[in-house]
Chains A and B, each alone.
Chain A
Amino acid sequence: MAKADLTVNIGGLELKNPVMTASGTFGYGHEFDDFIDVNALGGIVVKGTTLEHREGNNYPRMAETPAGMLNSVGLQNRGAAYFAEHIYPKIRHYATRIFVNVSGSRIEDYVKVAEMMNDLEDIPGIELNISCPNVKEGGMAFGTSCPSAREVTKAVREVYHKHLMVKLSPNVTSIVEIAKAVEGEGADSLSLINTLLGIAINAETRRPVLSTITGGLSGPAIKPIALRMVWQVSKGVKIPIIGMGGIMNATDAIEFFLAGATAVQVGTANFIDPAVTVKILDGIAEYLNRHNIHSVRDLTGAMECC
């Protein structure tokens, strides 16, 4: 049979396939050059980028948990200007869609970073991070109420002319309401979910494992929640959804498509198997062939509920 069609379109932007990498789990791509051909991926979302340099949170920043892990990195990065000047020139050659995850603690900072990203020719879109749980003064605060999610999306939309993906927090009462608010302000796509807020405690020392006490939970432990949220949001908005949360293999990715995602982001799995993304890609093609499905696009929202 004909080769499966893996191309997808997220709000006017075509990806050669639906497998992307999640911000903060894939560095800037080149960290994986020894393991895979990064060009094979549909897209990569680089590390959360803020206006100013950030040192991030103190060590320890990681705790292994059942079927997952907590992190509290705290958006360690060299700042947007450093990215544009020193990192972007080294990664712009990749034949994949490169998205910059834009983070901040003030609306004007998000706006400034978004403006800077406009000028980078080989960055076709940004992922607006209104959902980082590890930064005290902001981040997630924007993504947990409809008015603030609306306000930051609107402000960035006014200045940013390319693809605007907004990354949603699961740490909310109704993710659908936030999704609708963000869609209403002109987001081109939504990515979900960011990590779930959690705590790990060392019973012997009676101390929290993380320096910040709380951190963001990722890995297979959160997959059922992520699937539920992708499914709910897909019923409430018209723009494409990029699903993520505990994807470890092709079957997991396909479940996200069936729940309503157009593309997926692979995150924590990259730490355990740095070649997992290309394996997922191969597995999706194999699934399509085995089920005689012409295009991966036919899977989006194709869960059959009786």
Chain B
Amino acid sequence: MPRKTISTFSVSEVIHLSPDTFVMHLQGVPPLPEVFAGQFAEVEVPGSPDVFLRRPLSIHAADRERGMLSFYVKTVGKGTRRLSELLPGEKVSVVYPLGNQFTLLNSGKVLLVAGGTGVAPMLMLAQSLKGAGAEPTLLIGGRSASDIHVTEAYHEAAEVLVTTEDGSAGIMGRVTDHPVLKENFDFVRICTCGPDPMMKALAVIAREKHVICEASLENTMACGFGACLCCVVKTTEGHKCVCTEGPVFDTRNLENW
């Protein structure tokens, strides 16, 4: 894994995709360290004295040569709210790249399943898998069409499938209702990020289909690099830090999955 760094970035743009979802583009000094799909960063919430800790955010995109780092974020509390209000030019300290990565298979069909902001690492993952020689399919689920923000880049990297609970886009229902998980299942692996119940349901499906399921967990954490031991998950080998042993886990190694 590349060396972790603390770097100061400058906000280049915050794009609001919906009232509670935004993409934050940061500009740093190139070249950036290599970043792998599934890794995350601990991002400072600047100018916010009532926010004490950094916020762990999945890395959405990274352009090493141009020095760009992007995050796809849902506003859930005061920390992410402040980040959503950042203006171009504001400085943000970022500790990254943190954690492990999704396995990059070099052949076969791989099903990526994202729920809500679980889509954050999926574009990079689809691009990396395609680059490695695998065939990614990306299944994205949301409550309604306003939760689904698929750009041309997604279609270039993967076959894109959508479900919404109200049926306003794609197939009506949850991701687990999508026929791609039922008939003619020909994937060699499932990679997922999103709410725990969704990922647990996918782990069960993967077991039935005899394929590996990799899930990216989102436990709350203080440091992000293995010092505080706050973000643990129960595995078959005891408590493991999500920040250093994860965030991506083979669901067979997670207890009660």
Residues 210-247 of B contacting A (Cβ, < 8 Å): 219-234, 238-239
CB <8 Å contact, B4 and A35: yes
> Quick check: is B204 within 8 A (CB to CB) of the other chain?
no
- Point out the residues of chain B lying under 8 angstroms from A82, CB to CB: none
- Point out the residues of chain A lying under 8 angstroms from B225, CB to CB: 31, 34, 274
Residues 219-268 of A contacting B (Cβ, < 8 Å): 219, 268
> Quick check: is A149 within 8 A (CB to CB) of the other chain?
no
Task: Give the distance to chain B from A149, nearest Cβ to Cβ, in Å.
Answer: 26
CB <8 Å contact, A66 and B228: no
Q: Which residue of A lies closest to B54 (CB)?
A: A272
Task: Give the distance to chain B from A24, nearest Cβ to Cβ, in Å.
Answer: 8
CB <8 Å contact, A64 and B229: no
Which residue of A31, A56, A66, A275 contacts B52 across the interface (Cβ within 8 Å)?
Answer: A66
With A35-B6, A273-B93 given, can you name 12 additional A-B contacts, CB distance below 8 Å?
A32-B227, A61-B231, A65-B52, A68-B52, A71-B222, A71-B230, A73-B229, A268-B222, A270-B227, A271-B222, A272-B52, A274-B223
Could you tell me the distance between the alpha carbons of A71 and B227 in the complex, rounded to whole angstroms?
A: 13
Contact A76 to B239, CB < 8 A, known contacts A35-B4, A71-B230, A275-B6: yes
Could you tell me the distance between the alpha carbons of A71 and B239 in the complex, rounded to whole angstroms?
A: 16
> Quick check: is A155 within 8 A (CB to CB) of the other chain?
no
- Point out the residues of chain B lying under 8 angstroms from A71, CB to CB: 222, 228, 230
CB <8 Å contact, B227 and A62: no
- Point out the residues of chain A lying under 8 angstroms from B50, CB to CB: 66
Could you tell me the distance between the alpha carbons of A273 and B224 in the complex, rounded to whole angstroms?
A: 11
How many B residues touch A, CB cutoff 8 Å?
31
Chain A residues near B (Cβ < 8 Å)? 24-27, 31-32, 34-35, 47, 55-56, 58-62, 64-69, 71, 73, 76, 219, 268, 270-275
Residues 107-160 of B contacting A (Cβ, < 8 Å): none
- Point out the residues of chain B lying under 8 angstroms from A58, CB to CB: 234
> Quick check: is B15 within 8 A (CB to CB) of the other chain?
no
Residues 35-51 of B contacting A (Cβ, < 8 Å): 44, 49-51
Contact A271 to B232, CB < 8 A, known contacts A34-B4, A67-B52: no
> Quick check: is B87 within 8 A (CB to CB) of the other chain?
no
> Quick check: is B5 within 8 A (CB to CB) of the other chain?
yes
Contact A271 to B223, CB < 8 A, known contacts A56-B239, A64-B52, A76-B239: yes
Task: Give the distance to chain B from A266, nearest Cβ to Cβ, in Å.
Answer: 12
Contact A25 to B228, CB < 8 A, known contacts A34-B4, A55-B238, A274-B95: yes
Could you tell me the distance between the alpha carbons of A25 and B229 in the complex, rounded to whole angstroms?
A: 9
Contact A55 to B239, CB < 8 A, known contacts A25-B227, A27-B226, A35-B6: yes
- Point out the residues of chain B lying under 8 angstroms from A31, CB to CB: 225-227
Task: Give the distance to chain B from A74, nearest Cβ to Cβ, in Å.
Answer: 9
Task: Give the distance to chain A from B233, nearest Cβ to Cβ, in Å.
Answer: 7
Which residue of B6, B54, B221, B226 contacts A62 across the interface (Cβ within 8 Å)?
Answer: B221
CB <8 Å contact, A62 and B239: no
Shortest 3 CB-CB contacts between residues of A and residues of B = A62-B230, A271-B223, A34-B4
CB <8 Å contact, A61 and B52: no
CB <8 Å contact, A273 and B230: no
Could you tell me the distance between the alpha carbons of A65 and B78 in the complex, rounded to whole angstroms?
A: 12
Residues 4-20 of B contacting A (Cβ, < 8 Å): 4-6
